[in-house]
Amino acid sequence: MPHDTDPAPGGCRGVRLPRTTAAVPLARALVRAALDASGGSDASDPSGGAAAEAAGRPDRDTAELLTAELVANAVEHTRGDGPIELFVELLAAPGGCQIEVHDPDPAHPGELVCPDPDAEVDPWQEHGRGLLLIRALSSACGHRPTARGKAVWFTLPRLPAQRRPARA
């Protein structure tokens, strides 16, 4: 069961998640709920992303996907006994959101910030695409040490509202 934690930088609240694979769908649901509550997408629109794009808000589908990657990495690849913590911050200007996942392992998360531009991705490899997705789909990403491990984060911009042609 998730537990509320102290506010993270920027005034957002965090939620503690279990260090099991059950944390992944919980995190996706929490991000979806946070964006829906803020008007991040129309809850009646099953596409999530289309409503967000039309309204000029962060894309909920992308936020859920990248959050799932960060949480899955924290569950599978980190050491330590502490919980995983999820923080969702809605950014005022210019809009968008920043999502952080905290874990108890201080080791940094692979090639999140500085990938080798000459390295090729093996399309048959079963692992290693999560950080590539985060780098490719977020407007910024990184990691930083915390008092109890590290935080890995990404930022999604506010999508511009679609322009519709004027009706004659």
Position 44 scores a pLDDT of: 44
Position 21 scores a pLDDT of: 92
Position 30 scores a pLDDT of: 95
Q: What is the mean pLDDT of the chain?
A: 78
C-alpha–C-alpha distance, residues 83 and 54, integer Å: 37
Q: Identify the weakest region by mean pLDDT among 9-18, 74-83, 118-127.
A: 118-127
Please say if the pLDDT value at position 135 is more than 70: yes
| CB of 87 closer than 8 Å to CB of 4 | no
C-alpha–C-alpha distance, residues 22 and 54, integer Å: 32
Please say if the pLDDT value at position 3 is more than 50: no
SS (H, E, C) 99-112: EEEEECCCCCCCCC
pTM: 0.76
Name the most confidently modeled range: 14-28, 100-114, 116-130: 14-28
- Residue 57, both tokens: 């808000």
Q: Which residue has the higher pLDDT, 35 or 87?
A: 87
